[in-house]
Amino acid sequence: MEPTKQNFLAALKNAFAGLRLFFKQERNGQIQISISVIVILASEYFDINTSEWIAILGCIALVLSLEMLNSALEKLSDMVEPNYHLTIKAIKDICAGSVFWSAIISVIIGAIIFVPKIKMLFMVTIH
């Protein structure tokens, strides 16, 4: 039997439902979206340039997307094998590692963008 194809609006509705579910139920998603809002506000405050915006938004998209995949794979893993299993643990650890790695790189990119601007702010304030 061939699966039924969703129309575009139904697929969009499902995608928004997934976003709502993720940000409502996942603690890490709530933390990361809060950090994202702070970073976006800081970006606006420091009037970052287009290239910096692209880097910041790319980092936000990457970390949040990987966290969503991590959450989905954890749920699937728990459904497939509710008991402790070394392979499931490895899958979960690798997924968590991907989120952590992208977050570390994102912090480094954020530091490259914001540290000079924060230094300039303090220099102007002191003088």
Q: What is the pTM of this model?
A: 0.88
The string of DSSP codes covering the chain is: -PPPPPPHHHHHHHHHHHHHHHHHH-HHHHHHHHHHHHHHHHHHHTT--HHHHHHHHHHHHHHHHHHHHHHHHHHHHHHH--S--HHHHHHHHHHHHHHHHHHHHHHHHHHHHHHHHHHHHHHHHH-
Tens-digit pLDDT profile for residues 42-80: 999 999 999 999 999 999 999 999 999 999 999 999 999
CA 42/CA 34 separation, integer angstroms:
12
* Per-residue pLDDT, 122: 87
Fold of the CATH domain 9-126? Helix Hairpins (1.10.287)
Q: Map out the domains of the chain as residue ranges.
A: 9-126
* Per-residue pLDDT, 116: 96
* Per-residue pLDDT, 15: 96
* N-term to C-term CA, the chain: 74
